[in-house]
Structure 1
């Protein structure tokens, strides 16, 4: 990535991170997650529209599923025709969206995210995706340690069950000072002011 690819700084110093939503849900508990993932995907889709309208950069942060030669197109091809096809169709990244491939739970671990976010001028992150109690939580913890302000909309995340989602949201709210109001209840324009 060169500076020439980044034309302006992020409005409200914000960036939207979409974590692990390009998925086939082919893992233990994935089938059970599908209803929650679908619901979160619809809320994320609305937030994507708001971010595009406001000029807030969108960064997909996605697991490599152990495919070490993987990149954006291969990861998306991998999930075509799976139980999560509706989610992929709803949230498919555009060419001008950023895409970070991660090898582990946190979006910051062994990725270019710590370099990209300052280039975008982002100091405030909106974290969405799956799983709330693993990858979203670990990314939030790393972001908090780097002093990012956080909004984790409760309707834009999903886990294997609602109890785990609530538990992780409580940790992020109480230990990381994250805002956890639903995207349906807190408008992007109000959060980026």
Structure 2
């Protein structure tokens, strides 16, 4: 059975990253696995005109805007994890301060203004920012899809529990990247997960 969601947006969480933090040694190998899936998801979404939003940490630089964040990530030792999934000119960018993509950001208003009712989450870290963002999306009455092979954990055993919590407690659809398709219908964006 497939579910069709009008007015979808793909949200890329914290993938513009310098990997200059204490958990980087654990996260980088996991990020390396998900980058190709995220890249394919972005190609599919962009080809159908589906909104793509990057929600990203600010690296502790409160004056940072997305151009500075991208430049910092591209000059770091793991630029190869950023290059395939760079924002294009149509992507929107929200700088966040804490774990959730909604906490103290304009994202709630932005999605409401654009008529988005369904978010497709990908990025990192599964058991932290992705989990908290899914919860905040759920309490805002948004439909949530989490692309299981497009989210990177630091601790895989916690990620498994986080995925189950998102599915059971937040009603999130947990799907693999190959099972997400985007269509256009009479001017409305749809994400279909099967």
**TM-score, with structure 1 as normaliser:** 0.89
Look up the match of 2:13.
19
- Mapped to 1, the partners of 2:191 and 2:171 lie a distance apart of 14
Residue 156 of structure 1 aligns to a residue whose secondary structure is strand
| Residue 123 of structure 1 pairs with residue 123 of structure 2 | no
Give the Å deviation of 1:30.
0.8
RMSD: 1.6
- Mapped to 2, the partners of 1:122 and 1:187 lie a distance apart of 17
Query: Which residues of structure 2 form unaligned runs of 5+?
Result: 184-189
Residue 174 of structure 2 aligns to a residue whose secondary structure is coil
Residue 25 of structure 1 aligns to a residue whose secondary structure is coil
- Mapped to 1, the partners of 2:182 and 2:155 lie a distance apart of 27
Q: Could you say which structure has the higher strand fraction? A: 2
User: Is the 8 Å Cα contact of residues 12 and 192 (structure 1) preserved in structure 2?
Assistant: no
Look up the match of 1:97.
91
| Residue 70 of structure 1 pairs with residue 64 of structure 2 | yes
Aligned residues: 183
Give the Å deviation of 1:156.
0.6
Q: Which range is displaced more, 32-41 or 166-175?
A: 32-41
Query: Which residues of structure 1 form unaligned runs of 5+?
Result: 1-10
Look up the match of 1:8.
none
Look up the match of 1:7.
none
Look up the match of 2:187.
none
Look up the match of 1:141.
135
**TM-score, with structure 2 as normaliser:** 0.89
- Mapped to 2, the partners of 1:15 and 1:182 lie a distance apart of 17
Look up the match of 2:169.
175
State how 1:159-170 maps to structure 2 within 5 Å: 159-170=153-164
Look up the match of 2:48.
54
